[in-house]
Structure 1
Amino acid sequence: MSEPRTLNIGLIGAGRIGSSHAELITRTVPNARLVAIADPVEGAAARLAKALHVPAAYTDPARMLADPAVEAVVITAPARFHAGLVEQVAAAGKAIFCEKPAGMTLEEIDRVHRAVEANGVLFRIGFNRRFADGFPQARAAIEAGRIGTPQLLRSTTRDPGLANPAAVAPWTIFLETLIHDFDTLNFLNPGARAVQVHAAADALVAPDFRDAGLLDTAVVTIRYDNGAIATAEASFSAAYGYDTRAEAFGSAGMVTAGDLAASSMRYYGSEGIGIDTVRADTQSMRGAYTGELQAFTDTALGHRAPGPGVGAARDALRIALGCIESCRTGAPVTLDALDAVGAAR
């Protein structure tokens, strides 16, 4: 009897999320093997590779892509490099898992689509909430008609801290934080398409950085072509922990998903009832990160598993870009018009 196939993975980007993904691939995805890590920061890949007993480390991602032992690549580099890296990995003929966003503009996303199609490679985008406990179950209930017609949807991301406001690039709250919520809302409104967005955002956590372009608090209203109205909100300063929740309300009921409790333990004392909460996405979403990496690995090995691709990446990004335009103008933005502008460039 032959041994089960294992997927040899290379990782680009040895930062916070890259380190977390590398550890998960090594320890929680049984049919995956991390064989190489690349990061242009001198010593970053080597340190992570040594800690996880990964055999190869590179400062040049191109050298890693030339390694015949690498069959698939996980991209966790800074977002501004994602589209270019996807093109390079696709040209090398390797399966791709890319953290969000896949590009910073619709033109970049369309380049990603062309590269993936031209080279016939697998592409998956890291929208982890599709794999977080409660979210796929909520989607299944919606698809089964248990809430009737979707009418009101909500998704929330509240991050527990803003350690260095100066390091946060303008529009991060839409392009890298709320983009998860936009995908969640799309996921919980299956078959519908966002047609209009209206965004309000400000620097309420670190107001001294407002003039530098930092936005740390935002609320977005989204209208869909099936009539549903959705809201997404984000804050970079939740004192009580890392908070990601969603709900979908319809004509026949409601589903909710997300819980920031670190365990089912509840403390009952003289001061009241208390619970321990998760304090980071790498803690809260550990199971979701494992799930999406497992699904990617299974699909790359020929065992088809569900997962978001280029279409989902584009659908979420167009909402994020609409939010940026809405903040600039103070008015609602029609997304079809945004699509037309992108296509004309």
Structure 2
Amino acid sequence: MTTQPPLAIGLVGAGRMGSFHAETLARRLPGVRLAAVADPAPGAARRLADRLDCPTVYTEIGDLLTDPDVDAVVISTPARTHTDLVVAVARAGKAVYCEKPMATTLADADRAIATAAEAGVPLQIGFNRRYDAGFRAAHDKVAAGSIGTPQLLRSLTRDPKLADPAPIPPWTIFLETLIHDFDTLRFLNPGSEPVEVFAMADALVRPDFKDRGLLDTAVVTIRFDNGALATAEANFQAVYGYDVRGEVFGSAGMLTMGDIRRTHLMSYGVDGIAAETVTYDQDLFHDAYVAELADFAETLRTARTPSATGEDARAALQIALAAIRSVAKGVPVRIEEIHAEAN
């Protein structure tokens, strides 16, 4: 029996999330190896690669793209760089995994999707909640009709701490935080698409940064074409931990998902009932982060369509852009308005 050689996957971006993905490629996935690490920051690629026994590092990303030993590339760099890197990787003929958001404009989203299609390479986006066991099970139950027709949906993201707001670009709460929730709501309402968005946002955690464009709290309502009404909300500082939950209420039942508790241990004492909570995304979604790269590897082996595509990234971005316009104008915004302007 012939044994296939391990998939050789390169990583671009040796930061916080890139380091986790590198560990997954190097140590958590059978039949996969971390082939190279690239990062323009002096020493960043070398430090990560040495820790994981990866032999090849680059400070020029283009050198990784021309490396014949690299089959595919994982992009984990700042959001503003994603589209150009997706295009460059695809043009190099290598499969692409890109962290969210794939793009911040529809023109860039279309450019990324078109380039990957022209090159004939898979393009997968890091919407990790699709790979969480609870969210995946909820999607499957909704798709199977287990709760009837979806009527009300909810998705929320509450980060544990807002440290320094100064470097946060305007509209980040929609483009980089709620982008997960927008994709989740589409995922939990399969076969339906959003038609109208209304959003409100403010700087409630750090109002002293509002005049610099910070929005740290937001609520978005979305109407879908099957009549379902959805709510997405985000806040940059939940003092009790990292809180991500979802809910689907249907004509024949309800599903809830998400648990902030670190374990199922509950402590009962004179001060009441307590539980330890998760405060870090890589703890809450550890298995989902691994599963999405496992899915990427399986996509490369079988040539099937990824579970989170460039088209999914574009659809979530349309909701984000409609939400941004809604906040700016104070009115509901039709998705068709956003779509029409890109065509």
- TM normalised by structure 2 equals 0.98
Letter in 2 for 1:10: G
Q: Give the Å deviation of 1:3.
A: 2.4
Query: Does the 8 A contact of 2:205 with 2:236 survive in 1?
Result: yes
Task: Go from structure 1 to structure 2 and tell me whether the alpha carbon gap of 1:122 and 1:306 turns closer, same or farther (over 3 Å shift).
Answer: closer
Equivalent position amino acid for 1:121 in 2: V
Moved more, 268-277 or 110-119: 268-277
**Where does residue 135 of structure 1 map in the other structure?**
135
**TM alignment of 1:59-138, pairs within 5 A:** 59-138=59-138
Which portions of structure 1, spanning 4 or more consecutive aligned residues, are displaced by more than 3 angstroms?
303-306
Q: CA deviation at 1:4?
A: 4.1
Aligned to 1:15: 15
Q: Aligned partners of 1:275 and 1:303: how far apart in 2? A: 44
Between 51-60 and 288-297, report the one with greater CA deviation. 51-60
Secondary structure at the counterpart of residue 204 of structure 2? coil
Report the Cα distance in structure 1 between the residues aligned to 2:26 and 2:272, rounded to whole angstroms.
41
Task: Work out whether 1:36 is the aligned partner of 2:36.
Answer: yes
Structure 2 stretches of 5 or more lacking a match? none
Map of 1:274-289 to 2, 5 A cutoff? 274-289=274-289
Secondary structure of the residue that 1:221 maps to in structure 2? strand
- Partner Cα distance (2:209, 2:57) in 1: 37
Give the superposition deviation at 1:305: 7.2
When residues 303 and 116 of structure 1 are mapped into structure 2, their CA distance, relative to the original with a 3 A threshold, is closer
In the alignment, structure 1 segments of 5+ residues that lack a partner are none
Q: Which residue does the alignment assign to 1:226?
A: 226
2:342 aligns to what SS in structure 1? helix
Offset at residue 5 of structure 1 (A): 3.7
- 2:159 pairs with 1:154: no
Kept in 2: contact 1:66–1:92 (CA 8 A): yes
Aligned partner of 1:292 in structure 2 is 292
Count of residue pairs the alignment pairs up:
343
The residue type paired with residue 75 of structure 2 is I
Measured in 2, the distance between the counterparts of 1:53 and 1:316 equals: 37
SS in 2 for 1:167: coil
Provide closer, same or farther for how the CA distance between residues 303 and 267 of structure 1 changes in structure 2, counting only shifts above 3 A: farther
Tell me the alpha carbon deviations over residues 29-65 of structure 1, each in whole angstroms, 9 at most, x when there is no partner: 1121011111111111111111111111111110011
Deviations 1:130-188 (A, max 9, x none): 01120110011111111111100000000001111002111110000000000000000
1:226 counterpart letter in structure 2? N
TM-score, normalising length: structure 1: 0.97
Deviation string for 1:243-278 (max 9, x for gaps)?
A: 100000011101111111111211121211111111
Residue type at the aligned position of 2:56:
A
Distance in 1 (CA, whole Å) between partners of 2:307 and 2:292 is 7
| One-letter amino acid matched to 2:146 | R
Structure-1 separation of matches of 2:304 and 2:294: 11
**What CA distance in whole angstroms lies between the structure 1 residues aligned with 2:245 and 2:183?**
13
For 2:244, the equivalent position in structure 1 comes to 244
CA distance in 1, matches of 2:67, 2:304: 26
Question: C-alpha distance in 1, partners of 2:21/2:140?
Answer: 27
In structure 2, how many angstroms separate the alpha carbons of the residues matched to 1:168 and 1:29?
34
- The AA in structure 2 aligned to 1:51 is R
The answer to whether the Cα contact below 8 Å between 1:133 and 1:258 also exists between their aligned partners in 2 is no
